[in-house]
Amino acid sequence: MMKKLLTLILLTGLHPTFRGAHAQITLDRPLVLTGQTEDRRISGLHGSVDAADALSATVEQDGAHRTVTPAAASIWEVSLSGLSSAPPAGTHLIAMAPGGSGVVQIQLNGYGPYPLLLGPGEPLDAAEVLIGTPLNLVFDGSAFQITNGATVRRQPCPENMVTVNEEFCISPQENTSATFFEAAVSCGTQGMRLCGWAEFLVACNNAPQLGLTGMTGNWEWIDDAVNEDGAARSSGASACSATSDALVTSPRPYHCCRSR
């Protein structure tokens, strides 16, 4: 244990920007360090996120002081305390996607609006990400770059497929009969896969609105587990919810699906 006045070097987050810096903080009272010799942590710092305060590791790591939730609109208007000028390059935000559609921009504390870019010259369409998805934004001086866009972006369905919902697409017509393995390979070579049972059920129940054909009236292959060696699951004979097992060598029609 030691007690003395000292100048403490801390890593501080200069709220609300992404300008981590080493700074000196002068303490006006004794600093008491307790613990084992190998313990190098300082605990007990309060969770303040005021602009002039040093941030604890917990506050810095959870990002609460820079997280914003804009309303769905063509311009996401957000505000952060402690920012009294236009955001400098390096400003970091975590924006919770509010939904909507179309190209969007962001306005921070009245400054902007600035583009939101998924990549170089590629603006964000709000429909490409699910509501509530956290978007990691870093300001480059003229636009906010979405650094996690590759992992959160919903892919558009190809022209030869139908969008069922936010999660997946499906081929509109039933494919010619094939064995289970042939069907799986055929979907795979087209960048697709056999539909799971839940996907088949959702698509089948909405077939008229989606313009899908061949969803019922015969058994077709789906990619779902069965408790029988050499067999695979099929569905759709008498109703969307009908299921059956069949030998993988049996020829059956199928639809292909693709995740978004």
pLDDT > 90 fraction of the chain, expressed in percent and rounded: 55
Burial 48-66 (b: 16+ CB within 10 A, else e): ebeeebbbbeebbeeeebb
Residue-wise pLDDT for 77-135, tens only, equals 998 877 778 999 999 999 999 988 899 999 999 999 999 998 888 898 888 888 888 99
- 213 has a pLDDT exceeding 80: yes
Superfamily of domain 162-259, CATH level 4 = Mannose-Binding Protein A, subunit A (3.10.100.10)
Listed in sequence order, the residues at least 6 apart from 224 whose beta carbon sits closer than 8 Å to its beta carbon are 196, 197, 233, 243
CB contact at 8 A, 154 and 130: yes
- 63 has a pLDDT exceeding 90: no
Q: What is residue 43's predicted lDDT score, i.e. its pLDDT?
A: 67
CA distance 249 to 173: 22
Residues of the chain with CATH 3.10.100.10: 162-259
Of 1-10, 84-93, 138-147, least confident by mean pLDDT is: 1-10
Residue-wise pLDDT for 155-196, tens only, equals 788 999 999 988 899 999 999 999 999 999 999 999 999 999
Residue-wise pLDDT for 8-62, tens only, equals 434 444 444 444 444 556 667 777 766 666 666 666 666 665 666 666 677 777 7
CA distance 259 to 244: 24
- 3 has a pLDDT exceeding 50: no
CA distance 180 to 106: 49
Q: Give the model's confidence band at 197: pLDDT under 50 very low, under 70 low, under 90 confident, else very high.
A: very high
- How far out from the chain centre does Cα 248 lie? 36
Half-sphere exposure (Cβ direction) of 113: Cα atoms closer than 13 Å: 13
CB contact at 8 A, 69 and 41: no
CA distance 185 to 175: 13
Q: What is residue 58's predicted lDDT score, i.e. its pLDDT?
A: 73
pTM, entire model: 0.52
Burial 208-223 (b: 16+ CB within 10 A, else e): eebebebbbeebbbbb
